[in-house]
């Protein structure tokens, strides 16, 4: 592609090596000014790496970057900012106990004549930007008190405040609720109307369809294609991305539920502020059944999981696995009663980042006879075991068993956790946001795995903010609202709108069965 | 170029570069102060290595700080900052004296008992810190610093107590001879021993002029034990998991609080062992009134730092540190430069080691340039 002024960003022939590993190999990206350009690729394809090169966090080993037709060398993020590039990372970089305004001006403080911080002026400027693009945020709220969606807006504001004309969003929707995603898309559109250019990384094909003009696909570090979004459907995009056809709908036979394995009875749990987050909640999961809990974030899902895994106290009620009460014991006791949990916060609860993949794989097993020898670790065994899981779950790069898990891409870190928990051979598998940050190929795999485990007689509790996921995968769909299950349906008996309404606190439909 | 960048990425290389920088800065300081750096360094190394007696003394000096270094390094690997090594060391020496003065059993029983007492003393101090952290979430640095002072005054209290005070002195009674851990202390000064040692000048000087003791063997052994514990045992796996990410460890069913207490217990034991071995292995085999800390624990912090918290690295870092401390005295005697210069040098070395993250970054640059050239 020719270099032209029409393009806000042109990256030509970008190659990036990590040691001898080619994370990017001769990749091209041409982004038209004033467009929304999506980048699509599997986990570990090199999307974040490509954007980090553009933002000056990494230096490419080969290739050129042009901004508005001019060749540039972006040595570090400061240079990128000078060129009007802003980036919102997947993991936010905000100071928790600072206010929104303080966070936004951090590093670019406006001072009045005597070197005194001019907060008032900064605040005004921020309010201007807020108004212009409909980025509703309270400039005086502290970061720790606002939701993840709000925090993301602060990150966007931060970039705009620094004069960004080109905005990079790395998986911005992975942490958002469906409502927040809609709002984000409308913000993106208002930015485009103002002449800004947006590059967005996302695994959600629906969002690409809803938001973007053009989509560039990369696979294992290779440039595959760039297509106008209007001309392709979701299946085509998925196929291009993975290299073979992908089923977007889960294939499964009707469930054959057996005995009740897991039972929660009138459970009440308080959150860290002492308010009741889970209120008198009851639910049952049977052998060979997937129960999905649909709900908007913040309706008690987090506290429910913490209570089941004994990370927090249950105020009242019981939690029973195979008839044994486990509430208010220890996380270890829960694991020993054959409950496995895929936690939603993979970096905080799920993984020890400096540990190798193998060390992470055995974190619940190192103490079992199989993996120890007279108090020593059986390292060969752990290696062998990990190698097999890496292969079974297609964790990339292959042969990463002795690499720190920190070096894996976000999606592959997630796969490590899924592989570990599923292979525990649990009686109850709790999957909380199991596909967050995964590409469609990997999502298909995870969903298949859940169904396979179900068919093998496991009880599965799926908690997800993705309504699609709950609707598609679950045999029984529970709706959680304000800390309690407000409705329960069998799969196929209910449509998305009804569930959506209930999630938002709407009145329950008549033929719904409550708390069976 | 590849080779070079590979070498530069090794931790040991950065440490050596840091050492060279430390010496360089010390040379500049010496020159500014009006001393000949060459001469001063000559004196330093001569004072460390030129005589068997010196080498032996360097090792003796290094023994306790290898152990306190290990204590700090171990705690660090489990996510704890053991600034309390100083207090645990003093506690160890107190406990060793308490037992060693009062008991007088055959050496085979006495020595283990006295040393064990020291280990226990360190353990008690360490576990208090661990307990307070696990139970009430009090940061270990705060409790450790307070316990350091408690140990100092406790030590002075023992010195002045009726039961232990040696009349007309500023110290306690020495521990009974049966507690000594020197190598053949009796035999080497006997006629037969002297006669046997005489033909070998090296051994003769080493044995007779210094308190050659088993401490260094134990220190090296402990380094290996700690390495195995950390990297090969199940306990070490738990300890490191808790150190790196408490939340994930908790979620995986590891008892976080118990591991914190155990980590501090082991760290305390190592420092206590250092204290005990100093009492049993080196004259005057007793504790004296302390006006200030003797820095055995604090030097352990520097040793752990230089070693990059590697247990085996602590042995070498401890020897280096002991060498600088001991050889530094000769600089003072021969060149007239104050020992402060040595302290400055040690300080700069630690400082540059702390900066060694720069070296791998440098290597990365080099690598990039290499790729650029290749094209
Ligand atoms: N700092 C690093 N050191 C070594 N390898 C790295 C590093 N950063 C990324 N990689 C590797 O480069 C490849 C691309 O990673 P990248 O993070 O760009 O993937 P991604 O496309 O963003 O994937 P995901 O969707 O899972 O976030 C991965 O195989 C990853 O393991
Ligand atoms: Mg990524």
In this prediction the ipTM stands at 0.83
Reported as a single tens digit per residue, the pLDDT across B52-96 is 999 999 999 999 999 999 999 999 999 999 999 999 999 999 999
Rounded to 5 degrees, φ, ψ at B10 are -70, 140
Q: What tokens were used for B17?
A: 């570069």
Reported as a single tens digit per residue, the pLDDT across A445-487 is 899 999 999 999 999 999 998 888 999 999 999 999 999 999 9
- The answer to whether residue B1 scores a pLDDT higher than 60 is no
- The answer to whether residue A28 scores a pLDDT higher than 90 is yes
Q: For residues A179 and A185, what is the distance between their CA atoms, to the nearest angstrom?
A: 10
| Residue with tokens 């976000």, as numbered in its chain | A410
Q: For residues A472 and A476, what is the distance between their CA atoms, to the nearest angstrom?
A: 10
Q: Is B234 close to A352, i.e. CB distance below 8 A? A: no
**Following DSSP, what letter does each residue of B169-237 receive, concatenated?**
SSBBPPPPGGG--BSSHHHHHSHHHHHHHTT-HHHHHHHHHS--BTHHHHHHHHHHHHHHHHHHBHHHH
H-type alpha helices, A278-378: 301-308, 331-336, 357-361
Structure confidence at residue A150 as a pLDDT band (50, 70, 90): confident
Reported as a single tens digit per residue, the pLDDT across A371-424 is 988 889 999 999 999 999 999 998 988 899 999 999 898 889 999 999 999 999
How many CB atoms within 10 Å of residue A402?
Answer: 11
Q: Is A351 close to B245, i.e. CB distance below 8 A? A: yes
- The answer to whether residue A296 scores a pLDDT higher than 60 is yes
CA distance, residue A375 to nearest chain B CA (Å): 6
Short-list A256, A290, A252, A283, CA closest to A267: A283
Q: Which residues of B touch A382 (CB under 8 A)?
A: none
What are the sequence ranges of the domains in chain B? 73-295
Burial code (b: 16+ CB inside 10 Å, e: under 16) for A275-290 equals ebbbbebbbbbbbbbb
- The answer to whether residue A441 scores a pLDDT higher than 50 is yes
pLDDT of residue B4: 63
pLDDT of residue A145: 80
State the average pLDDT for chain A: 90
pLDDT of residue A114: 67
Reported as a single tens digit per residue, the pLDDT across B236-268 is 999 999 999 999 999 999 999 999 999 999 999
CA nearest to A310 within chain B: B251
HSE-CB of A226 using CA atoms within 13 angstroms: 14
Distance A240 CA to ligand 1 centre (A): 20
pLDDT of residue A479: 95
> Which of A46, A87, A90 maximizes ligand 1 atoms within 8 Å of its Cβ, making it the mutation to test the pocket?
A46
- The answer to whether residue B287 scores a pLDDT higher than 70 is yes
Reported as a single tens digit per residue, the pLDDT across B98-111 is 999 999 999 999 99
pLDDT of residue B204: 84
pLDDT of residue A507: 66
Q: Which residues of A touch B253 (CB under 8 A)?
A: 330-336, 364
pLDDT of residue A14: 96
A404 lines ligand 1 (CB under 6 A): no
Q: What tokens were used for B62?
A: 């290094």
Between B171 and B10, the more confident residue is B171
pLDDT of residue A426: 95
- The answer to whether residue B8 scores a pLDDT higher than 60 is no
Q: What is the 3-state secondary structure (H, E, C) of A73-137?
A: CCCCHHHHHHCCEEEECCCCCCCCCCEHHHHHHCCCCCECCCCCECHHHHHHHHHHHHHHHCCCC
pLDDT of residue B317: 92
Structure confidence at residue A115 as a pLDDT band (50, 70, 90): low
Least reliable range by pLDDT among A161-170, A241-250, B240-249, B329-338: A241-250
- The answer to whether residue A110 scores a pLDDT higher than 90 is no
Q: Check the CA dihedral A484-A489-A491-A496 and report its sign.
A: negative
pLDDT of residue B370: 47
Between B169 and B270, the more confident residue is B270
Q: What angle do CA A25, A78, B355 make, to 5 degrees?
A: 90
Distance A203 CA to ligand 2 centre (A): 10
Residue of A17, A332, A375 lying closest to B253 (CB–CB): A332
CA nearest to B6 within chain A: A19
The protein residue whose alpha carbon is closest to atom 8 in ligand 1 is: A407
Reported as a single tens digit per residue, the pLDDT across A177-200 is 777 888 899 999 999 999 999 999
- The answer to whether residue A85 scores a pLDDT higher than 90 is yes
Return the SS3 of A404: strand
Interface contacts (A, B; CB < 8 Å): 71
H-type alpha helices, chain B: 2-9, 11-32, 37-49, 52-77, 85-102, 107-136, 140-160, 185-189, 191-197, 201-209, 215-232, 234-244, 246-251, 256-281, 296-306, 311-335, 339-354, 358-374
Q: What is the mean pLDDT of residues A51-71?
A: 94
Q: For residues B290 and B160, what is the distance between their CA atoms, to the nearest angstrom?
A: 11
DSSP state of A350: I
Q: For residues A71 and A68, what is the distance between their CA atoms, to the nearest angstrom?
A: 8
């Amino acid at each position: 592609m020719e270099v032209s002024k029409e393009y806000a960003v042109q990256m030509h022939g970008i190659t990036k090596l990590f040691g001898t590993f080619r994370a990017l190999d001769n990749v091209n990206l041409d982004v038209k000014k004033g467009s929304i350009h999506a980048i699509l690729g599997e986990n570990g394809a090199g999307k974040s790496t490509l954007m980090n090169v553009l933002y000056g966090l990494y230096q490419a080993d080969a290739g050129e970057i042009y901004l508005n037709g001019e060749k540039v060398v972006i040595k570090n993020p400061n240079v990128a900012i000078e060129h009007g590039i802003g980036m919102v990372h997947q993991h936010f970089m905000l100071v928790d106990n600072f206010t929104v305004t303080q966070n936004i001006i951090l590093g670019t403080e406006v001072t009045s004549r005597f070197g005194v911080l001019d907060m008032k002026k900064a605040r005004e400027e921020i309010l201007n930007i807020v108004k212009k693009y409909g980025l509703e945020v309270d400039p005086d709220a502290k970061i720790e008190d606002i939701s993840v969606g709000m925090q993301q807006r602060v990150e966007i504001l931060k970039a705009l405040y620094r004069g960004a004309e080109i905005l990079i969003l790395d998986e911005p929707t992975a942490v958002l609720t469906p409502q927040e995603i809609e709002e984000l898309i409308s913000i993106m559109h208002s930015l485009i109307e103002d002449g800004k250019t947006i590059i967005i990384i996302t695994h959600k094909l629906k969002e690409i369809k809803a938001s973007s003009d053009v989509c560039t696909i990369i696979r294992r570090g290779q440039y595959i294609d760039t297509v106008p979004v209007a001309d392709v459907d979701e299946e085509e995009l998925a196929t291009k991305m993975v290299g073979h056809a992908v089923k977007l709908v889960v294939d499964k036979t009707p469930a054959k539920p057996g005995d009740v394995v897991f039972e929660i009875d009138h459970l009440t749990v308080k959150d860290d502020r002492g308010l009741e987050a889970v209120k008198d909640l009851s639910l049952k999961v049977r052998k060979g059944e997937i129960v999905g809990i649909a709900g908007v974030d913040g309706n008690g899902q987090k506290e429910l999981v913490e209570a089941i895994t004994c990370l927090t106290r249950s105020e009242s009620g019981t939690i029973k696995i195979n008839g044994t009460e486990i509430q208010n014991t220890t996380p270890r006791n829960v694991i020993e009663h054959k409950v496995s949990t895929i936690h939603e916060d993979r970096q905080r609860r799920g993984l020890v980042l400096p540990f190798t993949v193998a060390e992470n794989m055995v974190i619940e097993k190192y103490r079992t006879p199989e993996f120890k020898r007279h108090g020593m670790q059986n390292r060969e065994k752990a290696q062998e075991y990990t190698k097999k899981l890496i292969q079974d779950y297609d964790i990339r790069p292959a042969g990463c068993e002795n690499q720190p898990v920190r070096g894996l891409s976000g999606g592959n870190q997630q796969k490590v956790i899924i592989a570990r928990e599923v292979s525990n051979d649990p009686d109850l598998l709790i999957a909380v946001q199991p596909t967050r940050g995964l590409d469609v190929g990997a999502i298909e795999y995870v969903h298949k795995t859940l169904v396979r485990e179900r068919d093998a007689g496991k009880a599965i509790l799926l908690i997800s903010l993705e309504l699609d996921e709950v609707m598609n995968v679950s045999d029984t769909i529970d709706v959680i609202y304000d800390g309690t299950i407000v409705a329960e349906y069998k799969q196929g008996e209910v449509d998305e709108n009804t569930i959506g309404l209930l999630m938002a606190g709407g009145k329950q439909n008549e033929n719904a069965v409550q708390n069976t | 170029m590849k080779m070079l960048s590979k070498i530069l990425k090794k931790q040991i290389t950065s440490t050596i570069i840091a050492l060279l920088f430390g010496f360089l800065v010390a040379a500049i300081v010496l020159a500014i102060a009006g001393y000949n750096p060459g001469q001063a360094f000559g004196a330093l190394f001569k004072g460390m290595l030129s005589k068997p007696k010196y080498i032996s003394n360097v090792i003796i000096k290094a023994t306790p700080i290898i152990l306190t270094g290990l204590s700090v390094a171990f705690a660090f690997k489990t996510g704890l900052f053991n600034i309390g090594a100083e207090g645990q060391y003093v506690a160890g020496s107190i406990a060793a004296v308490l037992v060693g003065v009062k008991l007088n059993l055959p050496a085979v029983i006495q020595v283990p008992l006295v040393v064990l007492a020291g280990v226990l003393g360190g353990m008690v101090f360490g576990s208090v810190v661990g307990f307070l952290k696990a139970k009430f979430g009090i940061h270990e640095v705060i409790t450790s610093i307070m316990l350091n002072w408690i140990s100092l005054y406790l030590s002075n209290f023992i010195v002045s107590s009726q039961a232990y005070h040696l009349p007309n002195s500023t110290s306690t009674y020495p521990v009974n001879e049966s507690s000594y851990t020197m190598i053949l202390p009796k035999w080497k000064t006997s006629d037969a021993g002297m006669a046997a040692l005489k033909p070998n000048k090296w051994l003769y000087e080493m044995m007779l002029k210094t308190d050659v003791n088993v401490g260094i063997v134990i220190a090296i052994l402990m380094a290996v034990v700690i390495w195995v514990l950390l990297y090969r045992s199940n306990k070490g796996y738990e300890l490191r998991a808790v150190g790196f990410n408490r939340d994930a460890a908790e979620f995986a069913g590891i008892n976080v609080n118990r591991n914190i207490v155990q980590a501090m217990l082991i760290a305390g034991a190592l420092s206590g062992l250092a204290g005990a071995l100093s009492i049993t292995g080196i004259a005057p085999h007793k504790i004296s009134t302390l006006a200030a800390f003797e820095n055995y624990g604090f030097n352990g912090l520097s040793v752990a730092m230089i070693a990059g918290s590697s247990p085996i690295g602590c042995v070498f870092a401890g020897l280096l540190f002991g060498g600088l401390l001991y050889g530094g005295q000769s600089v003072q005697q021969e060149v007239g430069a104050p020992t402060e210069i040595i302290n400055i040098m040690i300080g700069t070395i630690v400082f540059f080691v702390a900066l060694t993250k720069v070296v791998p970054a440098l290597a990365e640059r080099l690598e990039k340039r290499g790729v650029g050239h290749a094209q």
